Amino acid sequence: MKKIAVLVSGGGTNLQALIDAQKRCAIKQGKICAVISSSPTAFALQRAEKAGIPGYVVCRKDFDSNQAMTRELTRLLRELEIDLVVLAGFMYVLTEELIRAYPNAIINVHPALIPSFCGEGAYGLHVHEKALAYGVKVSGATVHFVNEQCDGGPIILQKAVPVEEGDTPEVLQRRIMEQAEWKLLPKAVSLFCEGRLRVEGRTVHILPGV
């Protein structure tokens, strides 16, 4: 059974999707054992408490750099014997200490079809603002492994979502969450825990189930 830690910063809607998936046994051979927040007031911590999952706070304001925060996160994750780290709305860029400690074992969900509308500054509603400003007819979500490059790790799963006439960033955000993010993230987590993901260079192979 793989031990999963979910890193959050805000409301925790993607965390809730993972909790719901765990309740219906859709995450095979894995269990969410910790929720770690960058803010003590994040609503995601309340979601974790309600689900009976231990919550921890590694507050960005307590550290003078992202690197110092990352070192503390890495220490805590090792102490908890975590196997998989899931970034679910975590708002800070993690430095190489954590990436070295968890090679191809950190998963992130991005609200666009990478390589479109990604990289530094592309987060939250900004992603959907960029997509609408560009005039794309299709957007979506991507789940990928995390490496040293922002949004640059090997892609695990993607799902396209239509952009509709009159969409606002908020409306598009909600559609992508409901139709893509909340489906892809639990699936990718389960595939990892089942040992069905093999990384070769930039390619992620999904192995058949038993």
Q: What is the pLDDT of residues 164-174, one digit of tens each?
A: 999 999 999 99
Prediction pTM value: 0.95
Domains identified in the chain and CATH numbers? 2-206 (3.40.50.170)
Q: What is the mean pLDDT of residues 18-43?
A: 97
pLDDT at 210 over 80: no
110 catalytically annotated = yes
List the one residue out of 11, 16, 61 whose CA is nearest residue 38: 61
Q: What is the mean pLDDT of residues 75-100?
A: 95
In the predicted structure, residue 29 carries a pLDDT above the cut 90: yes
Q: Which of 110, 128, 144, 205 is catalytic?
A: 110
- Of 90, 116, 64, the residue nearest 5 (C-alpha): 90
Strand 2-8's sheet: what is its strand order?
55-57, 30-37, 2-8, 84-87, 106-110, 138-145, 155-162
Does residue 144 sit in helix, strand or coil? strand
Using DSSP's 3-state secondary structure scheme, residue 140 falls into strand
